[in-house]
Amino acid sequence: MARRKQAVTIKHVAADAGVSLQTVSRVINKEPNVRPAMRERVQASIEKLGYVPSIAAQRMSGSRSYLIMALNDRERTIADWEKREGTDWVDQMMFGGMLTCAEHGYRLIVELIDTHSDHIERELLAAIAALQPDGVILTPPHSQNRQIVDLLDEHNITIARIGSLTGGPGLRLTMDDERAARLATEHLLALGHTRVGFIAGSPEYELSAWRVDGWRTAMAAAGLDLEGLLAESDFSLASGERAAVRLLDGDAPATAIIASNDQTALGLLNVVRSRGLDVPDDLSVISFDDTPVVRFGYPPLTAIEQPIANVTARAVELIIAARAGEKPPASPQVVPAGLVVRESTAAPKRRR
């Protein structure tokens, strides 16, 4: 019977590098009080021996758990998964967060919490007790939920809040939604559109108002009237359809429409096609999110590409830095979104 290969331990690394166990531990835990030459020597032994640090051992040796928990909204996340319509917020969040955690010897755990639940405190306390995370990443709408934020702060957990600038504890990060909406509007104005409609997102999210502000700013700068050009949604496809009807049935219909997310953009497209209209000849369309469903549809939509992976990676870095004793940045961290121009926008060709 073949003998099981002996696992490489921290003792093997220390012996190979000719240093103490404490020095290896400090290198593994990325503590600052290690000379560069010594750090390189230990790291070389780790790579040579193929040593993989044990999170369980790390947790027992100090006050850190080496786990970061990301909270996402349960109701919306499960609904997106069930519909299988190509939304990839969670995928991108995990992509950026997991890779960055791994670089620092951490692990990312994603938990779903219902922001409207009467049992939100119980659910959150159960997750904290089970995981004992070093930090928590909050995504909208959790990032602006003071009950969640205050509860985490009471447990001395470092918080990174994505998409919220309201007061309270925690590191704050945005994708500069106001600027993104302004970019989208300016793109349409440059093409010659003067009736640029906007489908606002759910008022439950701070970023919905930021996007409307960006649209308003660009339209005002161009000296254009906003009457009849703003419609609300709750980020769902059905609400996108209702908003589209409102923007297209007025006395002076929009010749271009910006949708606050891909689901409302799909609802808009349903209405456009049911009326025998063409995108972009009859109507130019821009969406937020830039998920696969709008990239690979016909026509592929011009869209605001949100850097979800990058902002999550930055959130992880800030949490780890705070745990290491670094002073947090005083101002919100901005990871800007960008505009990807595709085939759904063009100069207005027909008078409506």
Residues for the chain: how many in total? 352
Q: Note whether 107 and 207 are same-domain residues.
A: no
In a domain, 266, yes or no: yes
Domain membership of residue 154 as a residue range: 67-175+307-336
User: How many CA atoms does the CB half-sphere of 311 hold within 13 Å?
Assistant: 31
Half-sphere exposure for 251 (CA within 13 Å, toward CB): 2
Regarding whether 144 and 202 lie in a shared domain, the answer is no
pLDDT at 58: 53
pLDDT in tens, the chain (352 residues): 444 445 777 788 888 888 887 788 778 766 767 888 888 888 888 888 877 766 555 554 556 778 999 998 888 888 878 877 656 888 899 999 999 998 888 999 998 888 776 788 888 888 888 888 999 999 988 899 899 999 999 998 999 999 999 888 999 999 999 999 999 999 999 999 999 999 999 998 999 999 999 999 999 999 999 999 999 999 989 999 999 999 999 888 999 999 999 999 999 999 999 999 999 999 999 999 888 888 888 899 999 999 999 999 999 999 999 988 888 888 899 999 999 999 999 999 754 4
Query: In the prediction, which pLDDT does 45 show?
Result: 87
- Does residue 347 sit within a domain? no
Peptide bond into 299 cis (omega under 30): yes
* pLDDT at residue 32, as a whole number: 67
Do 104 and 249 lie in one domain? The reply is no
CATH of the domain at 292: 3.40.50.2300
Position 103 in a domain: yes
Q: What string of H, E and C letters represents the secondary structure of 111-145?
A: EEECCCCCCHHHHHHHHHHHHCCCEEEECCCHHHC
Spatial neighbors of 239 by CB under 8 A, at least 6 apart, are 232, 233, 264, 267
What's the burial of 69, exposed, middle or buried (CB within 10 Å: 0-12/13-18/19+)?
buried
pLDDT at res. 95:
93
According to the model, what pLDDT value does residue 328 have? 86
pLDDT of residue 182: 97
Q: Please give the tally of structural domains in the chain.
A: 2
| Domain-embedded: residue 297 | yes
Examine residue 160 and state whether it is found in any structural domain, yes or no.
Answer: yes
Q: Same domain for 283 and 332?
A: no
245, 171: one domain: no
- pLDDT, residue 62, reads 53
Instruction: Indicate whether 50 belongs to any domain.
Output: no
286 and 230, same structural domain?
yes
Residue 170 to residue 159: CA distance in whole angstroms: 5
| 84 and 183 co-located in one domain | no
Residue 227's φ and ψ, nearest 5 degrees, are -55, 125
Predicted pLDDT of residue 160 = 96
Q: Is residue 16 situated within a structural domain?
A: no
Same domain flag for 279 and 316: no
CA distance readout (Å), 329 to 64, 302, 310, 326: 22, 34, 17, 9
253 with 153, same domain: the answer is no
Q: From residue 208, give the alpha-carbon distance in Å to each of 179, 201, 271, 331.
A: 12, 5, 22, 21
Examine the domain organization and report whether 281 and 320 are in the same domain: no
What is the rounded CA–CA span in Å between residue 272 and residue 244?
8
In a domain, 161, yes or no: yes
Tell me: do 122 and 243 sit in the same domain. Answer: no
- Do residues 181 and 302 share a domain? yes
